[in-house]
A and B are shown apart, each in its own frame.
Chain A
Amino acid sequence: MSLILNGDEVEAGGSVLDAVLAAGIELPHLCKDDNLPAIGACRTCLVEADGRIVAACSFPASMAKRVDTETKTARRIRRGVLELTLAMQAERGDEGGPLAGETASTASREGAAVDRFAVRTGRAVDATSPFFSFHEAACILCGRCVVACQDLQHISAIGLAGRGRDTRVTPGAADTFRESICTSCGSCVAACPTSALRPRGGAE
C-alpha cells in the first residue's frame, strides 16, 4: 500500500502517523504513546488527507491517497489546538518523567503562542505516594497515564473522572493515591508528556 506523503510516495501499512514518523517527518502527537493504541484526545497530529483535516494517529493510511502535514490549514489548526493546550498549564517545566516537557517543546516547534488564551487550570497537588507526585497545574488531560494504568498494567488506579471542563485525573474514587490501589509501578509517570506526574526525589 502506498501513499503520497508531502509529495513523496511512501509505503504505508498502519496509521497515517506511522507513515509520517517513518518518513522522518516531525508531527506533534501528544497523546499517542509509541507502544500503545491511539487515544485520539489531544488532536495535535492533525494533517490534511485528500483535502480533509484528520487525526493522523487514528486515520488508516490505507484510507488516504494523498497526505500533507504542512498545509496552511493543517498548521493553523494544529497551532490553535496547541494554544488551547498550553492554556491548560500553569506549569510547563521539563522536570519529571522521561517525556516531561514534550508539550512545551512541541508547541514551540509548531510556533504556538503561549499567551493566546489566558491560562486556567486546577492547582491540586497529590504528593501522598512515596514514589511520585501529581500536579494538576501541568496536566493536559491527554489520557496517556490512564491507558498505561488501565490497559497496559491492568491496575486501574487512575481514571479521568467527571466530564467537560470538570474532567480531571483522579486515583479512581479515592481522595489520594496513597489511599488508592496504586502499586507505584511508574507506568503513568513514564507515559506523561508533561511534568504533571513526577517521580519523587527529583525536583518537585
Chain B
Amino acid sequence: MSQVAGLPLRFRFLPLLHEAHTRDGWLSREAVETIARQVRIPLAEAWEAATSFPEFRFAAGGGDGGGCGGLSCVVNGAPPSESVHARCRFRCFEAPVSGGEDDFPEEMIRLAGRLLAPDITGWDGLRAASSMGSARALDMIDRAGIRGRGGAYFPAARKWRAALGQGRPLALVINAEEGEPGVFKDRAVLCRRPRRFVEGLAIAVSVLRPAVTVIFINGEAAPARRSVETVIAGAGEVFPGGVEVVPGGGGYVLGEETTLLNALEGRKPAPRLRPPYPVESGLFGMPTVVNNVETIANLSILFREGEAPFLDPDPAAAGGSKLFSVSGRVARPGLYEMPLGTPLRVLLAAAGEKDGAAFAAVLAGGPSGGFLPASEFHRRLVPGLLHPTGAVTGSGGMVVLDTTSDLRAAVLETARFNARESCGKCTPCREGLPRVVESLAEGHTEGLDDLLEVVGAASLCGLGQMAPGPIRSARHFWPELFS
C-alpha cells in the first residue's frame, strides 16, 4: 500500500474499503479492522465511517436484487424503492433498469453543444492557459463568469481566489459522486468525453498548482472511472503531481462538499460545521477547491475558444451551456446540452411525449428541488430557484411525469429517498424526514407544514434544508393530492 505524498495514511481508508468490498462482495468486521490498523484509524471511528456508506454491505450473500428504485424507474413501472436495495442505478435514460453500470451509450447524447461535441484531440486549451500564467487565466475565468455546474452555481473564479488567497498549499477535489437520481451527465462526460474533462482538470492544475489533486468518483461507476483513468495515464507529463482517483461507497449527501471531504479523510460521511469553509480549511486542513466534473470540463472550452461562448447578454443566465439529464415519461430520454436560461418547455419538446400522453409535471432539481406543473413549463432554466416552492435548475436533472403517472407516488418516493439518504447526524433531518414520509403515506397532513418548516430551517446541511421542496411544491400546485 503506497502512501500519497503529503497526505495522512488514512486517505487510503476508503479506497481500501472499496477494494475489499469489490473483491469479497461485502465487508466483514475483520476486514474493516485490518484496514483500519493498516491506515491507523482507531477502530470505533473506522467502524462508524465504514457503516455509513449505503453501498457497502456487512453480511455475506444476498446481493441487492438487481432492481432500481429511482424515481425515473418508478414512473416507468418499476416497483417502489422500498422493495429494492438500490436507490438509483443512474441509468435513468433506459428506465426501468436493473443490474450494474455500463459504459454510457453514445446514442443517449441526444443534443450536443460544445461540451458534448466529439471529444478533443491534443491539449491546445491547456497550452493556452499555461502560456497565459495563473493570474491572467484566473481573470479569464472570472470574465467568462463560469459558475459551478454541480447545482450551486457559485462563481468558480471567486472560489479559486479564496483558496489561493490562503497562501498555503492547497487541494483540488473533483466531485464525481453524482448521487442524485435522474442525473447521469458526469458519467456521460467521463465515459464519452474524457479528454474534454481531463484537459479542464489539467488547466485547473496549471492555475491552482495544488499540492494534491483528487477525483472522488462514485464507487459503482466503474466504466466512468476506467475511462478517465486511461486518459490520465496517457497524459502523464500533464499532471506532474499525479491525480488520485478515489472510488466511494455512495450516498446522495456526498454532494455536500464537507461530507465528501470527511469521506476522503476516512471519516464518517457527515457534514462539517461551517465556518471554516473548504476554501479555508478543507481536505486535511488544506485550503480546498471542490468542483464538479461539468464545471471543470467547461474550462477546456474557455481556453480553446475564448470567453465568447460564455457571454450571454442575459445576466440571469450564468453563461455557457448546461447538461440536462432528462428521464421519466419522455419519448427520447437522455442528455441534452442547451444554453443556461433555456425555457423548460423547449427542453421538454426536444425530449417529446411518450406514447402520446401529455406531460403533467417535472421534478426539477431532484430530491432537493421541486415539482412544476405544465402551467410553469415556460420558466427558464436559470441558476437558482425556478419557483419559490422548491424547483431548481440544480445539476440539471429533470424527471418528467405524464398523465399516466402517479404523482402522489412520485412525491412519496422523493420523500422516502431523502429520509433514506439522511446521514443521521442532525436531529431534524434524521428524525423529521421519516415522520414526513409517514404523514404523506397515511394521508395525515395535519401539522405537516410545521414539520417541514422545522426540517428545512433547522437541518445542518442542504439535504435536510431542501428536502421539503418536492413536498411543498406538490402541495402548492396540487392541493388535493394528499387530502
Contacts and interface: CB of A to CB of B under 8 A. Distances in A.
- A in complex with B: yes
Given A81-B428, A163-B424, A165-B419, A156 B44 contact: yes
B47 A43 contact: no
Interface stretch (B6-14, B407-415, B457-465): B457-465
B454 A165 contact: no
Contact of B458 (A46, A116, A149, A166): A46
A40 B52 contact: no
Nearest to A79: B454
B426 A159 contact: no
Contacts of A73: 457
Contact of B426 (A40, A88, A146): A40
For chain A, the bracket of interface size reads: 35 or more
A159 B45 contact: yes
Interface in B18-57: 29, 32-33, 42-48, 51-52, 54
A170 interface: yes
A162 interface: yes
Interface in B448-483: 450-451, 453-454, 457-460
A140 interface: yes
Nearest to A37: B273
A173 B37 CA distance: 13
A19 interface: no
A58 B426 CA distance: 14
Interface in A46-78: 46, 53, 55, 58, 60, 63, 73, 76-77
A5 interface: no
B435 A141 contact: no
Interface in A128-183: 140-141, 143, 146, 149-150, 154-167, 170-173, 180-181
Q: What class of interface size applies to chain B in its complex with A?
A: 35 or more
B427 A163 contact: no
B433 to A, nearest CB: 8
B193 interface: no
Contacts of B454: 77, 80-81, 84
A150 B43 CA distance: 10
B44 A164 contact: no
Nearest to A44: B427
Interface in A98-129: 116-117
A80 B424 contact: no
A40 B434 CA distance: 20
A44 B48 CA distance: 24
A194 interface: no
Interface string B77-99: 00000000000000000000000
A27 interface: no
A172 B49 CA distance: 10
A170 B47 contact: yes
A41 B426 contact: yes
B177 to A, nearest CB: 15
Contacts of B43: 156-157, 172-173, 181
A73 B251 CA distance: 32
B430 A165 contact: yes
A173 B45 contact: no
Contacts of B275: 60, 63
A53 B457 contact: yes
B34 to A, nearest CB: 11
Contacts of B33: 173
Contacts of B450: 76, 80
A195 interface: no
B345 interface: no
B394 to A, nearest CB: 22
A47 to B, nearest CB: 12
Given A84-B431, A85-B427, A164-B423, A43 B459 contact: yes
A143 B427 CA distance: 11
Given A162-B52, A165-B434, A173-B32, A81 B427 contact: yes
A149 B424 contact: no
A12 interface: no
A118 to B, nearest CB: 9
Nearest to A116: B447
B268 interface: yes
A187 B275 CA distance: 28
Interface string A22-52: 0000000000000000101111101000000
A117 B452 CA distance: 14
A165 B422 CA distance: 8
Contacts of B423: 163-164
A161 B47 contact: yes
B223 interface: no
A3 interface: no
Given A40-B273, A84-B431, A85-B427, A160 B422 contact: no
A38 B460 CA distance: 13
B343 interface: no
Contacts of A167: 424-425, 430
A196 interface: no
B420 interface: yes
Contacts of A41: 425-427, 460
A159 B427 contact: no
Contacts of B51: 161-163
A80 to B, nearest CB: 3
A116 B330 CA distance: 43
Nearest to A154: B42
Contacts of A46: 457-458
Interface of A: 38, 40-44, 46, 53, 55, 58, 60, 63, 73, 76-77, 80-81, 84-85, 87-88, 116-117, 140-141, 143, 146, 149-150, 154-167, 170-173, 180-181
Give the 9 A-B residue pairs with the shortest CB-CB distance, closest first.
A156-B42, A159-B48, A80-B454, A167-B424, A172-B44, A159-B44, A58-B273, A84-B431, A173-B47
Given A43-B460, A76-B450, A172-B46, 10 more contacts: A40-B273, A55-B460, A63-B275, A77-B457, A80-B453, A146-B48, A156-B42, A159-B47, A163-B422, A170-B47
